[in-house]
Every structure is written in C-alpha cells, then in structure tokens.
C-alpha cells in the first residue's frame, strides 16, 4: 500500500447546516509534498481538522497508514503532526516546556536530544527559556512547528504556513520542509497562493466550495492554471490589431486604448521582450505597461467550468 | 509502543504537569485568598459570634464550622480550577493539540480533573492547618475524612470540568459559582445544623447536595451528623455518577469540544 492517507467519500456538514466538504476522496502518497490549493472558505482547514481528529466527520472513511481515524485513533493520530493556521499558543509557558508537553502528549518518552535538534533547526534554541507570550508572531509560528515535530510524526500538516510570515521564516520553513521530506516525512500543506504550491509541492489538489476539483502533478497542473497578462496603455487608440502581431493572443480594451496580451506562466520571460520589440518596430507607442497574474478567483471559475 | 496503545501515561502526565505548573505560577492567589477568607470566618463566626453561641450537637461553635468551611473552599476551588483548566485552552484555541493527540477521553478527564482535585485537596489541608491555629481540632475517623475529601474534590472537579466545557464566556464561567454554589453552600449547613431550621426549610435542605457533603464530612470529624453517613455517602456517589455520565456524553457527542 503506497498511500499514507486515504480519504474516501468524505462529507462534512457543520451544525449550522453548512456543507463544508462534499464527497471528497483523496490519496496522499507516502513521502510526497502535497499542496491543497483553494480560496478562503474552500474547506481546507476543515479537511485537515477532520483527519487530525479535531472536527467530526459527517460521513466517509479516513485512514492514516492503514489505521482508521475513528476506530484506531491512537495509532492514526500518533503518526500526525499538525501546525494550525491560527497562532494558538500558550502564554506563560516557556518554549522548552511547551515542546516537552507536546512530546509527552503524543505518548513519547522524554528525549531532550531530539527536542534540542528541533529547536535548533527552527532557530529557537536560544529562546528556549523565553515565555511564549514574549515572542514575536513569526517566532510563535516556529514554536508551533516545533511542537508538531516534537513527537517525530510521519505526516506533517501545515495549514497556511506562510500566512503573515516574513521572508526569512518562509525560507527557513521551506528548507525544513524539504529536509523533512528527505527524511521520509509526508507533508501536506494548504495555501491559497498558486506560487507557493508551485514552489513546494510534488502534487497539488485544488479544492473549491468543499469539492476537490482535481488532483494532479504540479507540472501538468501549472499549465492549466497559470496565465499572465501584459497590459499596454497605448498613446494613440488602435482600431484593430495589426497583422504583424498575429503570433500573440491579443485583445483590445477600453475603446482601443489598451492592448491586453495573455501568456502562459513561464512563457512570459521570452514573450514579453519580443512583443515589446515588435511593437517598437511597428511604431506603436505606449504610455505605460502593467502585468497582471490571473487571480485565483478567475482560475477557479475556469477550473470549475472545465470540470463540469 | 504497546503500552502506549492501552494507556497514554506520558500524555496524562503532560497535561497533569501542565495544570500543576499553572497552579504553581499562581500559588499565592490560589492559596492566600482562601486561607485569608477562612481565617476571617474563624475570627468573625468562630471567636466573635461563636463565643456568644451555645455548643451545637455538643461541639463548640468554632469547631463545629471547621468541616463546613473546609468543604466550602474545597468545592469552590475544585469547580474553579477544573472549569478554568478546560475553558482556557478552549478560549485560546490551544485545545486543538489535546484533541489531535492520541489521548482517550478518559485520559483527558483523568489529567484535568486529577490536577484540579490535587490542588483542592492541597488547599483543604492548608485550611485544616489554618483552622487548627484557631480551634482545637480532633478527627474521629481520619480515613473517612480523607475519603470524603477525595470524593468531593473529584466529583466537584468533574462538575467544574463540565461547566468549563459548557461555558462560552468568562461570565458564564463565573455564573455557576455565583448563582448556584454560593447559595447552596450557605444553605448547606456549613454554619448551622439543619436541625436548627424550621421543618419546611429542613425538608427543602434535603434536596441540596451540599447538605450531604458537609454532614458526612462533619461526621468524620465529630461523629455527629444531620443525615445518616450512609445516606451522605450514597448522595455523593450519585452526584459523582451524574457527573461521570455527563462527561461521557460530552465526549461521545463532541459537545462544545468538537464541531
Ligand atoms: N466550526 C464551524 N462551524 C460552522 N461553519 C464552519 C466552521 N468552521 C468553518 N466553517 C465554514 O466552513 C467553510 C470552510 O471553512 P474552512 O475549512 O476554514 O476553509 P479554508 O480553510 O479553506 O479557508 C467556510 O464556509 C467556513 O465558514
Ligand atoms: Mg483555513
């Protein structure tokens, strides 16, 4: 059996009546980095919370490493580490005490050497005697990661790990994630940034309004997803697109005052300079240039349309 | 690994230690307030007023109120400690970790309630020490006294745990002690024998669980009681059973812990 998490026909309806997940089935492969990509409110946190035992499922089956999360919850949960989306931390405890607590809570005997390694990896070692409430937001996020790693999980969930995180932490975090993956840990992260999923994941699942729209390898998905646009504000309005520009996907907006050019992501580095050179050759003058990445909203609308 | 599957000892210890650490951080508030309050009771009721009161059931008034006062502190503290113990992680969100951990409902309750009960038993002993500075105290049935203390600390900590799970705000958290416990305590025979009440109120009192607690506890000190010891014990067991059932329902349904 190659999948470490197996989700079958999962449904979740909250007490409010809201259907947060609809018939979600998903296999997470052992040792991969899987990104769950979707806009706010798509059901990402709900999905993770159900697998971790924080939220109850309405129907469906989930197993972690072959253990059903309800019947064999001890075996299932002891394999999982969770870094929640919100900064839920204690206040008065020290960093050291809180990671020690986490390790014990998950049924592991004390192991100071392991905890030291975790704290060093997260640049928290010098802060180990500090009270958590005196730490910055970024440091608190590191503490939450340390807590999740304290019991040597085989699966790590990172729920929107980079929300409100500075560049340095993001870099450290990605380095750590890769290091963990290399040591055999399976990582599932949620995000609403396409770029983030693209940077980190082996596979990506797209979720919207509680439905898993598609699951695919990163490479093939990025082709479907990414579109970049160049908007050229023209000096003189154009009546029609000149014949010399047939190689590009162009549209005229704003009564001919704006030229809109659409590229696939990755393509624009080559295509933009050649387009601009061509415009010069044709004597088209412009006042301003803007680039725009198709918003996640647009992408989801497209994906949903395609999946119908 | 095998042992962990049956009982997560490290997990229980982690929660228990966490709760005891919280207690140590606020040791002064936790102990000083009840000790000062109890001392005031002894000064006012025991010495000032008690000197003008006759003996109750052949016991000097100052000594008579000791078991009641002690119980009063023990179950207020049990309720407070246990309710805050589970309410705080719910409030701050840190409960996610406990819910996602391989700990059973039984282990969670054991750890939180065990810690709250430990604290209130410690407090009870401190108050007993304080009381002995004011009045000579003699305990006829020390083992029964210990048993009652344990039973009360446990069942009221369980009740506090339930209240903490039920509470959705700090006001509700204080609502129970204020509106339910204080009246029950004052009408529970801490300061008088219910035989002193008019017959109607005596009957009403018999519906107050605190009467059984205090009566049984006082019996372990002085050998006299308002209601039979067996009945006291049974009433307390019933209360414990009720609390256990409620806790079981909470975890079975996920009530206010899991959505
Ligand atoms: N405890 C809850 N009770 C009722 N509705 C909820 C609860 N938690 C989340 N929801 C709703 O479920 C939907 C999915 O939420 P969530 O899983 O947090 O999405 P995401 O993490 O993708 O942003 C949202 O519409 C949200 O409002
Ligand atoms: Mg979320």
For residues A91 and A234, state if they share a domain. no
Contact at CB, B103 and A92, closer than 8 angstroms: no
The number of domains in chain B is 1
User: How confident is the model at residue B69, as a pLDDT?
Assistant: 87
pLDDT interval class at A296 (50, 70, 90): low
Q: Is A283 left (phi over 0), alpha (psi -120 to 50) or beta?
A: left
Three-state secondary structure call for residue A204: strand
Number of other CB atoms surrounding residue A11 within 10 Å: 15
CA-based nearest distance A195→chain B, Å: 29
Q: Which residue has the higher pLDDT, A227 or B65?
A: B65
Which ligand sits nearest to residue A39's alpha carbon?
A: 1
Contact at CB, A88 and B5, closer than 8 angstroms: no
Q: What are phi and psi of A51, to 5 degrees?
A: -60, -35
Closest CB to A104 among B14, B93, B94: B14
Range name among A210-219, A262-271, B3-12, B52-61 with the lowest pLDDT average:
A262-271
How close is the Cα of A26 to the center of ligand 1, in Å?
19
For residues A120 and A235, state if they share a domain. no
For residues A100 and A195, state if they share a domain. yes
Number of other CB atoms surrounding residue A220 within 10 Å: 12
For residues A63 and A162, state if they share a domain. yes
For residues A161 and A235, state if they share a domain. no
Contacts of B231 (CB under 8 A, 6+ apart): B212
Q: What percent of chain B has pLDDT over 90?
A: 43
Q: B113 and B194 in contact (C-beta within 8 Å)?
A: no
User: How confident is the model at residue B228, as a pLDDT?
Assistant: 84
Longest CA–CA separation in chain A, Å: 76
Q: Using CA atoms, how far apart are residues A107 and A110, in angstroms rounded to an integer?
A: 9
Instruction: Give domain status of residue B7, yes or no.
Output: yes
Q: Using CA atoms, how far apart are residues A11 and A65, in angstroms rounded to an integer?
A: 21
ipTM score: 0.89
Could you report the per-residue pLDDT of A242-264, keeping only the tens digit for each? 888 888 888 888 888 998 888 77
Q: Using CA atoms, how far apart are residues A139 and A169, in angstroms rounded to an integer?
A: 9
Relative to the CA of A42, which ligand 1 atom is closest? Answer: 22
Distance between start and end Cα atoms, chain A: 31
CA-based nearest distance B168→chain A, Å: 16
For residues A33 and A166, state if they share a domain. yes
Closest CB to B15 among A56, A84, A105: A105
**Average pLDDT value for chain B:** 87
Q: Using CA atoms, how far apart are residues B155 and B237, in angstroms rounded to an integer?
A: 9
Contact at CB, A90 and B94, closer than 8 angstroms: yes
**Average pLDDT value for chain A:** 89
Relative to the CA of A38, which ligand 1 atom is closest? Answer: 22
User: How confident is the model at residue A308, as a pLDDT?
Assistant: 56
User: How confident is the model at residue B100, as a pLDDT?
Assistant: 97
Q: A3 and A46 in contact (C-beta within 8 Å)?
A: no
Instruction: Give domain status of residue B124, yes or no.
Output: yes
Residue nearest to atom 3 of ligand 1 (CA): A14
For residues A109 and A245, state if they share a domain. no
Q: Is A28 left (phi over 0), alpha (psi -120 to 50) or beta?
A: beta
Nearest to A194 by CA among A166, A224, A234: A224
The number of domains in chain A is 2
Angle at B204 between CA B201 and CA B206, to 5 degrees: 115
Does residue A99 carry a pLDDT above 60?
yes
How far from chain centre, in Å, is Cα A182? 19
User: How confident is the model at residue B183, as a pLDDT?
Assistant: 80
Instruction: Give domain status of residue B259, yes or no.
Output: no
Could you report the per-residue pLDDT of A44-87, keeping only the tens digit for each? 999 999 999 999 999 999 999 999 999 999 999 999 999 999 99
Does residue B153 carry a pLDDT above 50?
yes
As given in the structure block, the two tokens for residue A272 are: 């933009």
Which ligand sits nearest to residue A46's alpha carbon?
A: 1
Best mutation target, B24, B27, B98, B102, to test chain A (most A CBs within 10 A): B102
Parallel, antiparallel, or unpaired: how do β-strands A286-293 and A227-234 relate? antiparallel
Final residue belonging to a domain, choices A196, A222, A248: A222
**Domain, as residue range, for A128:** 3-222
Torsion over CA of A118, A121, A124 and A126, rounded to 10 degrees? 100
Best mutation target, B1, B7, B14, to test chain A (most A CBs within 10 A): B14
For residues A187 and A247, state if they share a domain. no
As given in the structure block, the two tokens for residue A83 are: 């870094």
Longest CA–CA separation in chain B, Å: 66
How far from chain centre, in Å, is Cα A294? 17
What lines the ligand 1 site, CB under 6 Å?
A 14, 16, 18, 20, 38, 40-46; B 259
Could you tell me which residues are beta bridge partners of residue B154?
Answer: none
Instruction: Give domain status of residue B149, yes or no.
Output: yes
Which chain B residues are within 8 Å of A54, Cβ to Cβ? 96, 99-100, 258
Q: What percent of chain A has pLDDT over 70?
A: 92
Does residue B1 carry a pLDDT above 60?
no
Q: A28 and A215 in contact (C-beta within 8 Å)?
A: no
Rg (CA), chain B: 19
Q: What percent of chain A has pLDDT over 90?
A: 57
User: What's the sign of the alpha-carbon dihedral A139, A140, A146, A148?
Assistant: negative
Final residue belonging to a domain, choices A168, A191, A222: A222
How close is the Cα of A63 to the center of ligand 2, in Å?
22
Does residue B181 carry a pLDDT above 60?
yes
Instruction: Give domain status of residue B125, yes or no.
Output: yes
Using CA coordinates, name the residue in chain A closest to B89.
A90
For residues A33 and A164, state if they share a domain. yes
Q: Which residue has the higher pLDDT, A246 or A137?
A: A137
Final residue belonging to a domain, choices A181, A200, A222: A222
User: How confident is the model at residue A152, as a pLDDT?
Assistant: 96
For residues A99 and A175, state if they share a domain. yes
Using CA coordinates, name the residue in chain B closest to A18.
B259
Could you report the per-residue pLDDT of B18-38, keeping only the tens digit for each? 999 988 888 887 788 878 888
Instruction: Give domain status of residue B173, yes or no.
Output: yes
Token look-up 């002891």 returns A78
Range name among A133-147, A178-192, A194-208, B116-130 with the lowest pLDDT average:
A194-208
Q: Which residue has the higher pLDDT, A11 or A245?
A: A11
User: How confident is the model at residue A15, as a pLDDT?
Assistant: 93
For residues A196 and A215, state if they share a domain. yes
Relative to the CA of A16, which ligand 1 atom is closest? Answer: 4
Does residue B179 carry a pLDDT above 60?
yes
Range name among B51-55, B65-69, B71-75 with the lowest pLDDT average:
B51-55
Q: Using CA atoms, how far apart are residues A264 and B41, in angstroms rounded to an integer?
A: 81
Model-level pTM?
Answer: 0.85
For residues A117 and A149, state if they share a domain. yes
Nearest to A157 by CA among A132, A125, A199, A188: A188
Contact at CB, A53 and B100, closer than 8 angstroms: yes
Torsion over CA of B27, B32, B33 and B39, rounded to 10 degrees? 150
Which chain B residues are within 8 Å of A74, Cβ to Cβ? 4-5, 8, 102, 104
Q: Using CA atoms, how far apart are residues A183 and A78, in angstroms rounded to an integer?
A: 18
What would the mean pLDDT of B232-253 be, rounded to a whole number? 91
Three-state secondary structure call for residue A119: helix
Does residue A297 carry a pLDDT above 90?
no
Q: Using CA atoms, how far apart are residues A207 and A41, in angstroms rounded to an integer?
A: 10
**Domain, as residue range, for B32:** 2-42+57-253
User: How confident is the model at residue B2, as a pLDDT?
Assistant: 43
Does residue A106 carry a pLDDT above 90?
yes
Domain at A79, CATH number: 3.40.50.300
User: How confident is the model at residue B3, as a pLDDT?
Assistant: 43
């Amino acid at each position: 059996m190659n999948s470490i998490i197996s989700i079958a026909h999962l449904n979740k309806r909250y007490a409010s009546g809201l259907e947060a997940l609809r018939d979600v089935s998903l296999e997470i492969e052992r040792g991969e980095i899987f990104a769950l990509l979707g806009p706010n409110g798509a059901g990402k946190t709900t999905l993770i919370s159900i697998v971790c035992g924080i939220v109850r499922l309405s129907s469906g089956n989930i197993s972690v490493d072959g253990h059903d999360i309800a019947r064999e919850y001890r075996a299932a949960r002891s394999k999982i580490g969770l870094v929640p989306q919100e900064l839920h931390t204690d206040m008065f405890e020290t960093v050291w005490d809180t990671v020690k607590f986490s390790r014990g809570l998950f049924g592991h005997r004390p192991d100071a050497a392991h905890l030291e390694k975790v704290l060093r990896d997260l640049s928290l070692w010098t802060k180990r005697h500090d009270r958590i409430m005196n730490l910055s937001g970024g440091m608190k996020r590191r503490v939450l990661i340390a807590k999740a790693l304290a019991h040597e999980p085989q699966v790590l969930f990172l729920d929107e790990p980079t929300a409100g995180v500075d560049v340095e932490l993001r870099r450290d975090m990605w380095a750590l994630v890769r290091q963990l993956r290399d040591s055999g840990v399976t990582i599932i992260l949620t995000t609403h940034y396409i770029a983030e999923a693209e940077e980190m994941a082996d596979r990506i699942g797209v979720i919207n309004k509680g439905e898993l729209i598609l699951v695919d390898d990163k490479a093939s998905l990025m082709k479907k997803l990414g579109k970049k646009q160049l908007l050229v504000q023209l000096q003189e309005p154009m009546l029609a697109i000149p014949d010399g520009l047939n190689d590009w996907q162009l549209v005229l907006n704003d009564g001919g005052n704006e030229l809109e050019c659409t590229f696939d992501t990755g393509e624009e580095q080559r295509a933009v300079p050649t387009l601009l050179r061509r415009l010069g050759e044709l004597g088209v003058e412009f006042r301003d240039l803007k680039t725009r990445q198709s918003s996640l909203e647009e992408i989801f609308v497209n994906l949903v349309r395609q999946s119908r | 690994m095998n042992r962990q599957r049956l009982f997560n000892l490290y997990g229980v210890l982690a929660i228990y230690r966490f709760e005891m650490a919280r207690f140590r951080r606020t040791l002064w508030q936790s102990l000083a307030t009840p000790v000062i309050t109890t001392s005031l009771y002894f000064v006012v009721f025991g010495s000032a007023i008690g000197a003008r009161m006759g003996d109750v059931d052949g016991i000097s008034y100052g000594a008579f109120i000791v078991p009641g006062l002690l119980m009063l502190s023990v179950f207020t503290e049990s309720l407070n400690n246990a309710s805050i113990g589970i309410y705080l992680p719910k409030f701050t969100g840190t409960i996610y970790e406990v819910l996602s951990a391989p700990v059973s409902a039984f282990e969670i309750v054991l750890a939180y309630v065990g810690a709250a009960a430990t604290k209130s038993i410690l407090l009870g002993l401190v108050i007993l020490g304080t009381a002995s500075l004011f009045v000579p105290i003699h305990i006829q049935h020390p083992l029964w006294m210990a048993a009652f203390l344990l039973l009360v600390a446990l069942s009221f900590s369980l009740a506090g745990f339930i209240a903490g799970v039920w509470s959705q705000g700090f006001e509700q958290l204080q609502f129970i002690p204020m509106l339910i416990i204080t009246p029950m305590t004052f009408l529970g025979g801490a300061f008088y024998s219910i035989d002193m009440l008019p017959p109607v109120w005596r009957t009403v009192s018999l519906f107050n669980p605190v009467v059984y607690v205090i009566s049984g506890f006082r019996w372990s000190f002085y050998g006299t009681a308002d209601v039979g010891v067996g009945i006291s014990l049974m009433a307390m067991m019933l209360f414990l059973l009720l609390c256990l059932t409620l806790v079981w329902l909470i975890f079975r349904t996920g009530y206010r812990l899991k959505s």
